[in-house]
Amino acid sequence: MRIQILQPLPRPGFAVRAGALVVLVTLAACNLSVTNPDQVQDPLLNDPGAHAAVVAGASLALSEAINWVGFFGGDAAKEYTQGGRIHPVKLPLDPGQLTVEGIPDNAWNSAQLARWVAEDAVRRFRDVMDTLFDSYDLGAQALLYAGYANRLLGENMCETVIDGGAPSDYRDYFRRAEGALTEAIAVAGAAGDARVGTAATAARASVRLMLGDTAGATSDAAAVPTDFVFQAVYSIENENYYNFFYWVNANSPYREISVSGTPNEQYYRSTGDPRVAWDTNPAIPTAEFQYVPWLFPTKYTGRVSPIDLSTGREMRLVEAEIALRAGDWPAAMSKINGVRTAVISDTTGGQPLAPWPATNVTEAWTALKRERGIDLWLEARRLGDERRWVDSNTLGNMEDMSDRVRLCFPIGLGERRANTNVGPDHVDPKNPLYQGTLP
């Protein structure tokens, strides 16, 4: 097998870079050499023989975006404590603050790139395949990645900006995601790809929850089995495609993050919940900052560890949140504890986790918020949850976010400079709970 890595030419008029890797795999004996011929002429990617490579590029572009969005977003959402600054791309000097001046463009650019690559793949395939697109398995996959990329943007970005256009409500990303995922379900069904169809259904359930479509989210979630898992994949071939949560903390040489001081420090000690497991190394007691104990997460154990995009467990929590919105907290707790008690503790000799207690709707909301934070930990999802709950003024407790200037990423500096519809003086939305004085 010979693997060739291709880079399509940037599309004119796109405000951020468009250099997603496309992996072209050809079968030929067992030669695993990797060559990079750099950019190729764009029309070559229209050839159906290259479509699998284009989809692989969309997949890796999404994985890279999750890296950067999760890296900065996890800091802002208090999923971890900063442990150092020797990685070439630095976390904010003022921890957790998502300001244009305080964070680089990596998260904004990579997430927009993931969206563009997947959506361009859909356009390209549709043009080439014509009516055959309606049952084209690779078309369904491209639509799925377009849906996930738009969901990532919707959950994490303050405003929607599409290909140099004017800013609009962040929910417009979810509307794009819903459209792509709805078509992905139809095309995957016609192509006989049940796995892609189920992934698209699960992703659409999470999108519809964000859009307030409880009936649609309920229907979608119910169609996804609890044991279903669909993941973002990573590659060892290029550092951009390593699992960042592992790589920035693998002591090679980075020790960037720690569980120290977060709720999961004591929670894991008390419960042994493997979903938020962490460990220590007696020979290396501190992170890069000597005052931060190095309690390193063990959720991801290697550079190619996958990251969940959709799971059936999340679908049960979607159903629980919808029940809470309707005031049916006993039904919600049944869903929440159904997820929870299926998990076997690391520390109690093979016993399941104890259920969360709740005697009223407020306590049930607290249980839901905590359980989602545990189950989706370090998956670039927490900011979206926090903003949704703040916007709708839900009951129950979660992390104190009053010290965070915003619960989303502002439009990137490069976009502001290149996009005349935004401009350098654009005013970004703030967290309504914020009590500080940062811009």
**Gap between the Cα atoms of 205 and 89, Å rounded:** 34
Place of tokens 């996958």: 306
Residue 129 has pLDDT above 90, yes or no: yes
pLDDT given at position 121: 97
Residue 384's closest CA among 336, 333, 327, 321? 321
* 203-207 mean pLDDT: 98
* 232-240 mean pLDDT: 93
Per-residue confidence band for 266, with pLDDT thresholds at 50, 70 and 90: very high
What are the φ and ψ backbone dihedral angles of 81, each rounded to 5 degrees?
-110, 140
Region of poorest pLDDT, from 36-40, 171-175, 346-350, 391-395: 36-40
**Structure-token pair, residue 313:** 């467990």
Task: Catalogue the long-range contacts made by 394-398 (C-beta closer than 8 Å, 24 or more residues apart).
Answer: 394/324, 394/365, 395/361, 395/362, 395/365, 395/366, 396/362, 396/363, 396/364, 396/365, 396/366, 396/367, 396/368, 396/369, 397/366, 397/369, 398/366, 398/369, 398/370, 398/373
pLDDT given at position 40: 62
299 in Cβ contact with 243 (< 8 Å): no
Residue 147 has pLDDT above 90, yes or no: yes
Please report which residue ranges of 98-213 form alpha helices under DSSP H: 106-129, 137-156, 171-191, 194-211
* ∠ CA 322-325-329, rounded to 5°: 85
Mean of the per-residue pLDDT values for the chain? 91
pLDDT given at position 424: 84
CA distances from 397 to 49, 241, 318, 433 (A): 52, 35, 18, 14
* 70-92 mean pLDDT: 96
* 107-132 mean pLDDT: 97
**Residue 338 CA, distance from chain mean position:** 24
Burial of 145 (0-12, 13-18, 19+ CB in 10 A): buried
pLDDT given at position 43: 82
**Gap between the Cα atoms of 383 and 372, Å rounded:** 12
pLDDT given at position 4: 36
**Gap between the Cα atoms of 233 and 216, Å rounded:** 28
Query: What residues contact residue 372 under an 8 Å CB cut-off, 6+ apart?
Result: 314, 317, 381, 385
**Gap between the Cα atoms of 226 and 218, Å rounded:** 14
**Gap between the Cα atoms of 76 and 385, Å rounded:** 13
Residue 12 has pLDDT above 50, yes or no: no
Q: Give the pLDDT confidence of 347-382 residue by residue, as tens digits.
A: 998 999 999 999 999 999 999 999 999 999 999 999
pLDDT given at position 38: 54
**Gap between the Cα atoms of 68 and 64, Å rounded:** 7
Residue 18's closest CA among 166, 169, 89, 121? 121
The SS3 of residue 360 is coil
